[in-house]
Each structure stands twice: as C-alpha cells, then as structure tokens.
Structure 1
C-alpha cells in the first residue's frame, strides 16, 4: 500500500518506520524537514509539502494538537492541505489526540469532499510506537476502518473499533489520558508522603506494583517518578495540559462534571509556571513533593 505520513515527532517517526518495515511504500512529510530526511534513509520518500503525500491510497497524520492538524488538513493561502489534495475516495487516518469538535469537523469536511475519514488515536509511549506495540482506538465507517486495518496492523498490537462516528475514538482517547494523569497525580501525592518520612520511593513502587497496582501505567509512570526521570520527554507536560483541557471541553459539552480533571489542570499549570513545560508529563507527579519542600521537578 502507498501511504502518506504527516508528522514525524516522537510517535510518528516510529509509526512511519514500522509501516516501511511492513512493506508499505511511505511518502513522509514533517514541518522540520530533517526528520523526513532521516526516514528517507530507511526507504521512505521525503515530501516537501503535506499536499505531496496525498498521491497515496491512505494519508496518516500524527500531529501535536488541533492547530497543527487544522493547518495540515485545511491548508492555507500559501499551501494546499490534505483536504484539497487527497483524491476522492481515498482515506485520511487521524492518529492525533485532538478535540472531539475538530474530529467532527474533519469527518464532515472529508465527507463533503468525497473522501473517507477515520479517527485512530493510539495508546502508548514512543518506545511502544517504535516497537509496533501501540493500542489503536479506531472509529469510522466500517469500509473505511477495514481499509485502514493494514496500517493498524503495522503500527500496533491490537485495534479496538468503537463506533461509526470518528469523534467517539477521540473522546475515548481523551478519557484514557485523563485517567493516566489522575494516576500520576495521586501516585505523586502518595510518593511525596512516604518519601518525606524516609521511605525509598523505588522500594515503595516495587511494593505497589507487585501487589495491588500491577497495571502498566503504575509501572511506567511510577518508575519515571521514582527515578525523577523527566527528561527527555516522551510526552511533554504542555501536551498533557492540552489533553486535560480537551477532556474538560468535551465534558462541558456533554454536561458531565469532571472535578478531578479540573484539579489536574491546575496542577499542570503549577508545573508549567515552575518551568516544567517541556518535561515529561510524569513530572506532574513531582509537584506534590515540590510543595512539600522538595526540589522543583526537573531541577
């Protein structure tokens, strides 16, 4: 399959490489051209614009936020986007973590243009992307999801198809990220408590993850927090704040109170105000220790 790929950041670079490794032809575009050149050394074709990747059966976008997805999809006065360049009947897969509102807008715009659209955000950190071990959360028309399945098989270990409405996948992804940051915050508070009493955080984490809390989220983020390993960021704190804001916006639209999400938003603001914008979002768990008299996360 000939696949266009837009966005070669921490996640997209591994995903695109695995598409190549699975035998697909990949045409890649990144706003910082050096990353596309690196992928070209592995057999991809580097594109100079997003429009150039659209001479493909499928285009995958993996970008940081709504603004980046809007710019690449809808284009501007100086550069055509995916919507204007993708042939009728072809498919855009958005793997980005974006707002429910934008996912709905993308679905409608592609339908009006005679194109297919699938939302397929993923769960997993960059190391999972590099190892093709992502969990894909997909939603869209059944024929479009079926057309996207070879992409999902190349990048992930399992695909969950949720709905014929693409925005449902984005809502579920945001809810999952909300749960992750809730764990980071609560585990950070617990670690601040026991560490101030002299208990070793690594031994404490081993106890937790060997007994009541064996889930990967506790193992992965607990390990980062116990080691205070927040750089380089697998997922930056400012993007975590973005996702909490998006889940709160979705909750407001559905009239669902999320009091913990509101608290976590404020905790992210404290982290960013203290200079933690580009730390891994696991640094959120260090805010409680900082407030209890410990060092600022990342210092």
Structure 2
C-alpha cells in the first residue's frame, strides 16, 4: 500500500487538523509500507518508488473533487475549515541491483483515503464584530444577547457540519444546530459557568469545549423616555430588589464618554468586562429578543442599565 505524507514530509494523522497553507500537489507519495516484491530468479537489492509522472492525487473538499487548478492552491483558499479527503493512485517502479531486466513498473496502486480538517481559527461573531476564540467571552450578559460561532473563521457556511451541545445543561442560554447562542435570563448565583461542546460530525477534528462565565448581568429599567432622570432609574432599580443596582460607567464601557462614536460603540473586546465592549451598540435590530427599543436617532434603547 502506498503512503501519502504532508508537504513537510510528516505522516498524515487521520482526523486531525491540517495546515491551511499546504497545497495538495505538494503532498508526498511514498512506498514505505509496500512489501518489496520477490521475483523468480532471486534478484537482490529490490527497491520501489512511485512513478511520479503517472501519479494521481485525488482530493475532495467537503465532498467535491478538487479541480486540477485547485490542486495547485492552498487548502485554506479552497476550503477554510473544510473536510478534506486525500489519496494517491500511482504505478510503482520496481528496481533491483542484480538480474536483467533490473527495472519494471507495476499497475496502479493506491494509498488509504485520509480524512482531515483544514485548520481555521474558531471565531465568535457578535453584532457584526468578529472576535478570535476567547474563553472569557462573554463576561457580561443580558436577556436576549446573542452571538454565533464561525467554524471556518469566516462565515457560517460549514457550521452545520458540527454539533453543538449544552454540556452542563444550563437553562439560562440556548445553542442551536448552527452554532447560534442566545442568553435567556440571568443565571442563579453560582450557576454562571457555561460550556458548549462543539463536535465535528465528520470526526476530522477533536471536540472543542467553549467555556464562558458571565459575571455581570445587565437589564434595562424599562424607562424609555428621553425625560427620564437618574432618580427615576434609581427608583425603578430599587423596586426590582434581588441585589440589583445601577451599573457603574466602567461596567458599561471602558472608553471615556468623549471617545464613544455616534453609534455608542467603543473599541470592541472579548475580554474587557464592559457591556458595550462585549456587545457593541445595543439596538433592537442587533438584539431583537432583548426588549430594547430604538430612540428617535435609532442608535440604542434610551434605558439606563442596571446590574
């Protein structure tokens, strides 16, 4: 049996991640697992090698055979995060140091079919902003907040090739079959650790445990008038009880008020413990299940936040 190696001459490990920079035509076919043939006149010094001029490299990306042009392109440009199958079919040249003739070519032989994923960073998309995988996101939360995973680091086109499960069975959030997460309600004290297990249905990548722990939970006062005062917010907040208080400014944004842009969206961050940094501009369009209503300028719900 023939063997297919990576372009850097490493053995391919089935169901592993493969560098996005690898090019299919740069993979290396060898005969290292091929039993050396024997002939009737006991020729010695037998050796084998692939007939590289006749070799066929058979690659598919997400089930579709690669074209000759694609065989010369990087895997990351062809199918970022995608499932690749690969095998080589080739005649084998057999040679010996004694006897005559001392070289012959076999019929086509093939390797096993290898299956692997093209490496791609797991990205979290939140309100139009893409964040690299960060175990601390989100550190804040509110009813109706939502985000989604991009399993190829670019879009959701291969999300359905994974399954997503609520590992700890928490009831304060949901995750659907496309990797879309929604926060439903404030977790009970001590119950704010969540783990989403992401499993590759093609078994070409190890499962990922995505962990997040919201430590600040915000909600609106329900006041949606431009004339609402700080005292109005305090009154509403105190009436809620349950440990709620008015949020500190730094819990809402890490930017100074003068640094906020017109959309109330400061520098976005997965790790800073501030509402706008995590979630961006709070609009009914971005978070339709949150109960936030737009103001006349359409930027955000004019409702003081409390935590």
Instruction: With the length of structure 1 as denominator, give the TM-score of the two structures.
Output: 0.28
Larger Rg over CA atoms: 2
Indicate the structure with greater strand content.
2
TM-score by length of 2: 0.28
Higher helix content, 1 or 2: 1
